[in-house]
Structure 1
Amino acid sequence: MGTTAGVGRRGRRPGPADPFGGADARAGDAVVRVSGGFSAGVIRHHGDGATSRGYPDVRLLEHAAGLEDAGEAALDEITSPAFVLRDHGRVVAAAGYRAWPRRTAHLSVLTAPEARGRGLARVTGSAAVAHALSTGLLPQWRARPAASRCVAAALGFEELGSQLSFEVAAAIA
């Protein structure tokens, strides 16, 4: 059982400058240099479904982050392009979203443990939010961990509610 903060945007544009240059993933994979020696890129999926299974570099990031963090981020469920930051060719942060009903973009953001605390989630998250808005979707961010809530707030999201989830155990006969 757990609770989730519901975080939503109220018509504000993404916070930090977009190092992806308003990246339009439909134009192809983009790579630009950003401060700190990182390179930013947009990866279009190359698999049977539009999930991180089509993004081998993102799968390596999920593995490095561990099951709990990767499960929380749910990058394996994104249907958007993956917005990534690389350090020496290795993906250290990624974001994207899964298109939900009613024109909703459910965001997913993950940063490698050794790269946290440097604003990388804000950078990739901002790119995913900008992309969702450009396609007419309303971004939403389910923020449980405190760090995730901080990133969501930095991008202009506000807590709008909470979600309670539980699993009913099977009856024992």
Structure 2
Amino acid sequence: MTRSALVARAQELWVGLAGVPTSFAAGGVRVVVAARSRLCPPGWAGIVVLDDSGVATAPDAATARVLRESLDGRQLRSAVEAGRWNGEPGVVDVLGPASLAYLDGDEFRPAAGVADPPSLPPGHPDLAGLVADVAEEDVAESGLADITSQVFVVRDRGRVVAAAGYRRWPGSVAHLGVLTAARLRGQGLAGAVASAAVAEALRADLLPQWRARPEPSRRLARRLGFREFGAQVSVRIAADRGAPGGR
């Protein structure tokens, strides 16, 4: 699949998640009001940039106006750069940015020299030990709790120490989730389970998506053949900032 075809498929996903008729704006960010948008948490504004175009949703017209003013005259990629929204007038919280990477089956590079790991059904009790051993922030970043596919695992002395799977998103997208025990990171375990999860997604004719903030996670995605096309960020704008006359 060509780069343009991959980007188009990814854009189709995020347009659908916006929940209202919209499209990516070439060279800029199209802002629309979408109270039930899934680009971001409820009540927040969400921005997605893919390749050379962007789309954003706001919970109401006042917030949309503030967002447009904040984006006006700035380079497209700056909308999802790290630190871009920190200290911005009216912005009271930020989630992200997280990179968005996608994989074509022809470019998949499975982890080498690793036996196929066994799998567990999602929510299996054996996963609880891994979750308990990892920082809450890392668990949230991994998305392990949201996985709907089989969960591929590596065990150490019977205990699950690495796990990966995916959640099926709209548009036949497989959103990957990976988690490894902190004490065993850097030993290839994440690659083993992630590789198995990606292979399963491709067998199901799904588009693998890797969304990540930490650089080690992004490096792993690149080793498997993922290409980063853009990023996503969510911002919460104070209600009085969006109100008429707000500062």
TM value normalised by structure 2: 0.56
1:19 to 111, 115, 126: 115
4+ long deviations beyond 3 Å: 168-172
> Is 2:238 the partner of 1:144?
no
> Is 2:100 the partner of 1:6?
yes
Superposition pairs of residues 26-105 of structure 1, within 5 angstroms: 40-45=117-122, 54-105=123-174
SS of equivalent residue, structure 1 residue 142: strand
Distance, in Å, in 1 between the alignment partners of 2:148 and 2:174 is 9
Counterpart of 1:56, as a letter, is: P
Structure 1: where are the runs of 5+ without partners?
A: 21-39, 46-53
The answer for the alignment partner of 1:153 in structure 2 is 222
Counterpart of 2:179, as a letter, is: L
Counterpart of 1:165, as a letter, is: S
Are the counterparts in 2 of residues 95 and 109 from structure 1 also a CA contact under 8 Å?
Answer: yes
Counterpart of 1:19, as a letter, is: A
Counterpart of 2:193, as a letter, is: T
Distance, in Å, in 2 between the alignment partners of 1:78 and 1:102 is 17
* Bigger Rg, which one: 2
> Is 2:186 the partner of 1:117?
yes
Q: How far is the alpha carbon of 1:171 from its aligned partner?
A: 4.8
The percentage of aligned residue pairs carrying the same residue is: 48
How big is each residue's C-alpha offset from its partner over 1:61-89, in whole Å with a ceiling of 9 and x where there is no partner? 11211100000001000000000000110
Distance, in Å, in 2 between the alignment partners of 1:81 and 1:97 is 8
Are the counterparts in 1 of residues 141 and 212 from structure 2 also a CA contact under 8 Å?
Answer: no
Structure 2: where are the runs of 5+ without partners?
A: 1-93, 242-247
Taking only aligned residues, the RMSD between alpha carbons, in angstroms, comes to 1.8
The answer for the alignment partner of 2:245 in structure 1 is none
Q: How far is the alpha carbon of 1:114 from its aligned partner?
A: 0.5
Q: How far is the alpha carbon of 1:145 from its aligned partner?
A: 0.1
Distance, in Å, in 2 between the alignment partners of 1:71 and 1:59 is 14
SS of equivalent residue, structure 2 residue 190: helix
How big is each residue's C-alpha offset from its partner over 1:27-67, in whole Å with a ceiling of 9 and x where there is no partner? xxxxxxxxxxxxx321124xxxxxxxx21121221121110
Q: How many residues align?
A: 146
Higher relative contact order (CA 8 A, sep 6+): 1
Counterpart of 1:7, as a letter, is: A
TM value normalised by structure 1: 0.79
